[in-house]
Amino acid sequence: MRFALLTSLCLLSACSMFSGNQETFELPPTTITPASQQWDVVPQKSDEPMMMAEGDAVKIASLKGDIARLQGELDALKPQMQKVSVIERHLNRLVSDLERIDAQYGLAAPQATPIKAPTPAKVKPKPPQKVAKAKPEVTASISGKKEIENVRFGSVNGATRVVLDLGAAAKFSTDLDNEEGILIIEVPNMTYDAVPRTRKSGVVTDVQGQNVDGIGRVILTFKDDVKITQSNALPPSGPYGHRIYLDLKPL
């Protein structure tokens, strides 16, 4: 405001100089309020005490608890820390003594002498032993079915034995024809359902089977004339079921 008044006075003086007017101008008195009086702010006093938020009180209580817990842990660790400090001093002392002894006597670590491994003796491999394979024994099961289940061969006292394995007990009949070179074995009320492992053995050169009018028929073929030395129907015994056997010898 003072700067504005001074500026106004300067302008008026300049105007009077240019106009040649010797009249003087009087400015009305101006009251200037001190800056301290213009900006004084009186703070309002409050009689109410400041209230702490509930969340802040909980945090402060939690921090106090953590501080107390840490203080307790530090108090518990003090004895152990003292022991560690003592051990560290002893170790430093031992290291210093060892360095002094090493420098004084010049002890060097002994070098390990390599040990040669013994050369293994040469062992000649044993030749593999031949193991004779046992021939599987063909047995007839007691199935109860009226079937000729198998035809197998054997050798007894120079004769060729023919065995018919049956599912049940049965009677049989034979018809030998040396002119045709065949032997027909008929088993009534039986069905031929055999698959022989072999079809020739001894005097027998072939085996065939047929089913005719409820009769199971086994046809044996020969190269030379033969005779039936014995035949019979046997009941189950041991691993064998019902069976018929015939012994054939060449004439």
pLDDT at 35 over 50: no
Which pLDDT belongs to residue 126?
72
Range in 18-32, 75-89, 136-150 with the lowest mean pLDDT: 18-32
> In terms of DSSP bridges, do strands 204-212 and 215-222 run parallel, antiparallel, or are they unpaired?
antiparallel
- Rounded to whole angstroms, what are the CA distances from 152 to 110, 148, 149, 232, 238? 83, 11, 10, 15, 17
Domains of the chain, residue spans: 147-250
Helix locations, the chain, DSSP H:
2-19, 35-38, 54-105
Which pLDDT belongs to residue 25?
A: 43
Q: Return the CATH class of domain 147-250.
A: mainly beta
**Strands lying side by side in the sheet with 173-177:** 173-177, 182-188, 215-222, 204-212
Per the prediction, the chain carries an average pLDDT of 77
| pLDDT interval class at 90 (50, 70, 90) | confident
